Structure formats: structure tokens, C-alpha cells
Amino acid sequence: MMEQIPLFIGGVWRNTHPNESIPVVNPATEEQIGLIAKASLTDIEDAAIAAEKGFAAWKQVSALERATIMHKAANLIRERAEHIARTLTIEHGKPLAEAMGEVGATADTIDWHAEEGRRTYGRVIPSRALGVHQFTLMEPIGPVVGFAPWNFPLIQAVKKVAGALAAGCSIILKGATEAPTCAVELVKAFADAGVSPGAVNLLFGDSGQISEHLIAHPSIRKVTFTGSTPVGKKLASLAGLHMKRSTMELGGHAPVIVMDDADIATAVKISVAAKYRNAGQVCVSPTRFLVHSKVFDEFVSRFVDGARAIKVGDGLDPQVNMGPMAHRGRLKATEELVADAVSQGAKLETGGNRVGDRGYFFEPTVLTNVPVTALAMIDEPFGPIALINSFDDIDEAIKEANRLPYGLSAYAYTRSLSSANKLFNGIESGAISINHHSVALPEHPFGGVKDSGYGTEGGPGALDAFMTTKFVSLASVL
């Protein structure tokens, strides 16, 4: 039996006619494993109306009760973790251990936002006049539409859903087509935990149609998107046109600066694991390695050994460290990026080829001496490709780090406090990790600068993105 993946609108699961379905493919086997209900315009409009009703109900639920319901949802995710992780691996391709990590992080993200929802404090403002009380209230902005990407279809979905619900908003989540079941499980956990009908809704389908209809819709007050920079610019323009608040978490092309005083063995060990995690389909993936010429040969040699030691295969195999690319398009794009770099003079140190002829597997790849005109040095590679070049001077490295319009994440390795200081002040990025690789935890603000977008998810200001400030000036009646 083919798995049927439904929509969720106004507290009711809804299937569409099988002719209006989108196939789900296992990227490790290329077998069709499911059919997703594709939302019609009527479904999309119904979701907007449901989200408006859901907002009216959910904002009346006390912050404490909302937190209790959200904690219950987090625990349901934990209870169902094995099933959710397994389907995530089958649909997306990532190794089971990575999928389990994503499920665990999802539950933690819900818990963290639930508690933040109990602390949406306003401020008291000393008034200039006697008998006048002035203060601010933080109010939920209203129904939100959130778009989850396919690379982390669960953790990037929950940041939007948990943020909205904790603030007292309702949300329509557009789930990732490549790995839809985890979005269904996420929404199911909230429904089973007792969120108001319509507070969480789930759509799949034509992302262009969904975004155009909902961003323009008068009921929708906020859009939050994780995905590519070109699509983000389009949605941000649409949001501007309709005066909707937006958060845009877009692409990256993270530089990694390795100084000559760094612990090279550690830098390589951390970087190899981070580079090939999720087959490199990570917006904060370390990508442009800029290595001091004095340690370049040692770094490359160790890195190549690390890349060759990675076992590629079906993510359900516990021995596997790297699964397939999530969809056929990424495989083709990765092949093209490697061919282009080599044709422009880059040296292929290892990898560079598709693995087998079934499944979207690609070898962990290392390219060195890559010209800055190579496409991989300009566009986000979003695949298992490490690009390693050398530098002699820290200012030169910072200049190269800032060359691209992206500014999401950056990494550096050095034992010198003065170099570290220069690097974290000089590099234009939303985040920088020095001497380790910090993953995005719920308490960390996550977002980019320049073409990597604006606004942050998580961290101390997580709920601000879903709230408005109301100023109240109250005079006593004389």
C-alpha cells in the first residue's frame, strides 16, 4: 500500500483526489513510496480561514496552558521518535543517527519555545503626568504562513510552528515535498496534545501558488521562509507589497579560516564531520576553506583521508555516515559544479563522481586551488563538496570570506586571541564559531546578513518575530 500523506486544515485531516497527488521518492532506491495530497486553491483558502479562527481561539489560551500543551507535544514527539526518524531517513536519505538527532532537537525546540511563551514581557514606561500609567504589551501578530525546506524538513518546520504557537499565533505550515511525513507527525503531535483547531494547519503542493495566495491574504500577518536566496527575495518582495512582516533564512557559503597556529588535526576532524553531514545540504555547511599556506598541505592531506573514510550508502544502514542527496536535481547540480571547477583549473583531490547508478549518491569530494570564478565558489554548492584554497595574510582571508553576497555562518581555527578577535569582528556573517562547530540550538539566535536574509529564529528574541508591541497610555478617570 502506497503511503497517503494528507493535509491538515482546521483540525481535520484532508485527502485530495489521487490524480491530484505528488509522488514521494526514496532517494536511496529511487522507488516511489508515497503520495502527497496536493492542496487545491480551495484547500489553501480554507487553510487561511481556519488559521484566522484558530488564532482567535489560541490567543485566548493562557500562556501557561499553551506551554503545557506544547510540552505535551514535545513528549509525544519523543515517544514517536523512532518511527519519525525512520521515515525521515527513508524519505530524505540522511543517516538514521542524523534523523534521530533532528527528531530530538525538534522536541527540545518545542520545550524551549513553550517556556519562552511564558515570558513575553512588556515594559512599564514612567509617565510624565501624574495619574497616567504607560506600558507596552507584547501581542501575537496573528496567523503566520511558514515554509519549511527539504534539507531539514523537521527542525526547520518546528522553529516556525513552535515560535508561532508560543507567541499565541496560529500557523499554516507548507511542508517539504521531499520528506512530508515528518511534517505530518509534527502537526499530529500538536493536534494530539490539544492545540485549538485551526491553530496549526498543514499544506503541501505548489509552493508558488501557496505563497502567492497566502502572503497576499488579508488574514495572514506574517511570513517565515527557509530556503534559497532567489526564492527568499521573491517572497520578501511579495511580503513587502502586502505589508506583511517576514523572516527570511536563506542560503550561505560559509568560509572556514584556518590559521597557521591552529590545531590542524582537530580542525580537520570537526570540519570533515560538519562538511559531509546531511550530504552537505546544510545552509551553514563549512564550504570555502581558506587555509594558511604554512599548514595547507597537512590540512589537505588530513582532510582527504577524512573524506575517503566516509561510508556512503542507504541511511538505514547503521555503518553509513553519508546518505544520498535528497533529490535528483541536487545530484545533477553537484556533478555540474565539480565539472565546472575542474574545467577552470581546480585540482580534484578525491571524489567528484556519482556512486552507482541507483539512488542519488555522490562521493565526498575535495577540490583544491579553486579559482574564484568557478561556479562552486560563487553559488551555494549545497552538496558534499569541500573547496580548499590557501592564503598568506589574515586580511586577505577576511577579504575572501566577505567576497560573496552571502553572510550566514563562518568558522575559524586559531590559538591566537588576537587573530580570533580580528576574525569575529571582520567577517560579515550572522554567526561565527571559533575552534569548534556550533550547531543551531534553540537558545541560539539563527539568521543571516546580506543575501542570507534577515530576522532570526531561536535565541532570546525568538518570539519577537511573531509579536507586535502595543503601547498603552491609561489615565485615571477623575
Ligand X SMILES: O=C(O)CCCCC(=O)O
Reported for 49-52, long-range contacts at CB under 8 A and 24+ positions apart, including other chains, are 49/10, 49/219, 50/9, 50/10, 50/11, 50/197, 50/198, 50/201, 51/143, 51/144, 51/170, 51/171, 51/172, 51/198, 51/199, 51/201, 51/219, 51/220, 52/143, 52/170, 52/198, 52/219
The answer to whether residues 436 and 454 touch, using CB atoms and an 8 Å cutoff, is no
Can residue 284 be called a binding residue for ligand X (CB under 6 A)?
A: yes
Can residue 428 be called a binding residue for ligand NDP (CB under 6 A)?
A: no
Nearer to ligand X, 273 or 439 (CB): 439
**Among this protein's residues, is 249 annotated catalytic?**
yes
The answer to whether residues 450 and 406 touch, using CB atoms and an 8 Å cutoff, is yes
Query: Which residue number places its CB atom closest to ligand X?
Result: 283
Can residue 156 be called a binding residue for ligand X (CB under 6 A)?
A: yes
Binder to ligand NDP among 157, 231, 258, 388 (CB under 6 A)? 231
- Going by DSSP bridges, is the β-strand pair 12-14/7-9 parallel, antiparallel, or unpaired? antiparallel
With CB under 6 A as the contact rule, which of the stretches 61-69, 220-228, 364-372, 427-435 interacts with ligand NDP? Answer: 220-228
With CB under 6 A as the contact rule, which of the stretches 44-52, 57-65, 224-232, 267-275 interacts with ligand NDP? Answer: 224-232
Can residue 147 be called a binding residue for ligand NDP (CB under 6 A)?
A: yes
**Among this protein's residues, is 169 annotated catalytic?**
no
Counting residues that bind ligand NDP (by CB under 6 A) gives: 23
| Distance between start and end Cα atoms, the chain | 73
The listed partner (ligand X, ligand NDP, none) that binds 439, CB under 5 to 8 Å by sort, is ligand X
Binder to ligand NDP among 117, 251, 313, 407 (CB under 6 A)? 251
Least separation, in Å, of the C-beta of 239 and ligand NDP? Answer: 11
With CB under 6 A as the contact rule, which of the stretches 85-93, 149-157, 209-217, 287-295 interacts with ligand X? Answer: 149-157
Binder to ligand NDP among 91, 380, 428, 451 (CB under 6 A)? 380
Contact letters for ligand X, residues 95-114 (x by CB under 6 A): --------------------
Which residues are catalytic, by number? Answer: 249, 283
| Interaction site with ligand X (CB under 6 A) | 151-152, 155-156, 226, 282-284, 439-440
| Interaction site with ligand NDP (CB under 6 A) | 147, 149-151, 176-177, 207-208, 211, 226-228, 230-231, 234-235, 249-251, 283, 329, 380, 382
